[in-house]
């Protein structure tokens, strides 16, 4: 009689088939969804072309109207109001129900303001093409002729209009030689007619001193404290990144809307001022409001939102360095809020990326009970 001694297996028993594979598959599926969301959102982050060829931007020069002849207190001539928009980028005229004509640079009719509020531009005036951008890079076509009969195109109907006028600002991208901050760099006169009467608008422009860095530094410091305080709390470790991204997007949205509402529509404020942070805030709301999202998806949505705010701040970096900003908001607030939004968004982005890496790498081990149940000998 031959006895057979059972062979004891020394290797590990089979662990619940598919556990690790299923986990990796779920992560892969979520990653594909996240990549699709990221690609789609980043398309919305790219700023669209503004309605006007050259909207107001931060600048180091400020133009001011110093007189209107005949001179009237408040720079008004029988209800006419003239202001400078965006530091030195545009001049805006409100005709106040009067008939006003603005000539071009060769004396040709360029703009007309009718008594009923209709504003028209002569599309055959060379000034129409020169005024498409601040530095007059648009060359007039052959049909543009100061001596030709005007061809009028209605551009507004409320008696108010803003346009680039190269008699109101420095026309070079490089600073004027031999001058510095505090110096006057331009002294010009814009002739108009009001009900057939000649009126002169005198404009001067000055080179402004650089802005203080204090608002930007304080904004970064406060934002860093908020970010650290949110992430180190127990609740912050679970939802902190998405809450930070939402706060950064909300702050950016306030700044962007304030700037957009500060500018006339014909100056073409880019929609990216407010649309990018609005989209980022919407992503954060989705990440926080849908309980069925996996942690990986929530982290991915937070990454997309944070990237949007960071890019929004990057395209606005000039607000920190330039003296005059195209907004009616206090300049110190615009600078501090822009930097704060960027710092908070970077904190949310970093925390979310680290969380995603931990999720991808951290495939869980089998539970202790399962391992114990499979360690017995085979019969």
pLDDT digits (tens, 9 = 90+) for 314-334: 999 999 999 999 999 999 999
Final residue belonging to a domain, choices 207, 238, 261: 207
Specify whether 215 is located in the same domain as 357: yes
In whole numbers, what is the pLDDT of the chain averaged over residues?
83
* Distances 319 to 83, 101, 255, 375 between C-alpha atoms, Å: 22, 35, 11, 66
- Distance (Å, whole) CA 285 – CA 307: 16
Mean pLDDT of the region 274-293: 90
Longest dimension (CA), the chain: 132
Query: Can you give the pLDDT at residue 368?
Result: 38
Final residue belonging to a domain, choices 188, 207, 226: 207
Query: Can you give the pLDDT at residue 79?
Result: 74
Closest among 39, 193, 169, 178 to 111, alpha carbons compared = 193
pLDDT digits (tens, 9 = 90+) for 191-212: 999 988 899 999 999 999 999 9
Is 1 among the domain residues? no
pLDDT digits (tens, 9 = 90+) for 109-151: 999 999 999 999 999 999 999 999 999 888 899 899 999 999 9
Is 302 among the domain residues? yes
pLDDT for 30 beyond 60: no
Mean pLDDT of the region 350-357: 91
pLDDT band at 359 (very low <50, low <70, confident <90, very high): confident
Specify whether 144 is located in the same domain as 224: no
Percent of the chain residues topping a pLDDT of 70: 78
pTM, two decimal places:
0.80
Percent of the chain residues topping a pLDDT of 90: 65
pLDDT band at 73 (very low <50, low <70, confident <90, very high): very low
163 with 100: CB under 8 angstroms? no
Is 374 among the domain residues? no
Question: For residue 211, what are its two tokens?
Answer: 């802005």
pLDDT digits (tens, 9 = 90+) for 142-195: 899 999 999 999 999 999 999 999 999 999 989 999 999 999 999 999 999 998
Is 5 among the domain residues? no
Final residue belonging to a domain, choices 207, 224, 240: 207
Specify whether 68 is located in the same domain as 36: no
- Distance (Å, whole) CA 159 – CA 91: 14
- Distance (Å, whole) CA 165 – CA 134: 8
Specify whether 168 is located in the same domain as 182: yes
Specify whether 241 is located in the same domain as 189: no
- Distance (Å, whole) CA 25 – CA 20: 9
Total of domains in the chain: 2
Specify whether 135 is located in the same domain as 151: yes
Specify whether 203 is located in the same domain as 235: no
Q: Which domain holds residue 302?
A: 19-54+211-361
């Amino acid at each position: 009689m031959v006895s057979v001694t059972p062979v004891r297996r020394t290797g590990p028993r089979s662990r619940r088939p598919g556990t690790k594979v299923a986990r990796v598959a779920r992560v892969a599926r979520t990653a594909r969804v996240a990549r699709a969301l990221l690609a789609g959102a980043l398309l919305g982050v790219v700023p669209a072309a503004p309605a006007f060829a050259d909207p107001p931007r931060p600048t180091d020069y400020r133009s001011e109207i110093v007189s209107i002849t005949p001179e009237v207190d408040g720079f008004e001539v029988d209800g006419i109001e003239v202001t400078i928009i965006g530091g030195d980028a545009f001049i805006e005229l409100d005709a106040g129900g009067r008939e006003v004509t603005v000539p071009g640079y060769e004396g040709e009719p360029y703009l007309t303001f009718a008594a009923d509020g209709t504003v028209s531009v002569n599309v055959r005036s060379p000034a129409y093409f020169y005024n498409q951008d601040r530095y007059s890079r648009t060359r007039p076509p052959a049909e543009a002729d100061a001596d030709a009969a005007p061809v009028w195109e209605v551009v507004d109907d409320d008696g108010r209009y803003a346009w680039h006028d190269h008699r109101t600002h420095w026309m070079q991208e490089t600073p004027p030689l031999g001058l510095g901050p505090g110096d006057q760099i331009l002294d010009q006169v814009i002739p108009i007619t009001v009900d057939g009467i000649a009126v002169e608008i005198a404009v001067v422009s000055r080179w402004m001193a650089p802005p203080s860095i204090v608002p930007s530094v304080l904004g970064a410091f406060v934002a860093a404290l908020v970010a650290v305080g949110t992430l180190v709390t127990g609740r912050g470790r679970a939802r902190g990144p998405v809450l930070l991204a939402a706060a950064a997007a909300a702050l950016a949205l306030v700044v962007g809307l304030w700037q957009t509402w500060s500018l006339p529509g014909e100056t073409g404020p880019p929609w990216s001022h407010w649309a990018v942070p609005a989209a980022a805030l919407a992503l954060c709301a989705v990440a926080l409001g849908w309980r069925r999202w996996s942690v990986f998806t929530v982290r991915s949505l937070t990454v997309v939102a944070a990237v949007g705010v960071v890019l929004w701040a990057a395209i606005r970096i000039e607000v920190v360095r330039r003296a005059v900003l195209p907004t009616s908001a206090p300049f110190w607030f615009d600078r501090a809020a822009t930097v704060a939004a960027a710092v908070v968004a970077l904190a949310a982005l970093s925390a979310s990326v680290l969380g995603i890496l931990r999720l991808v790498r951290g495939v869980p081990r089998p539970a202790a009970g399962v391992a114990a149940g499979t360690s017995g000998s085979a019969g």
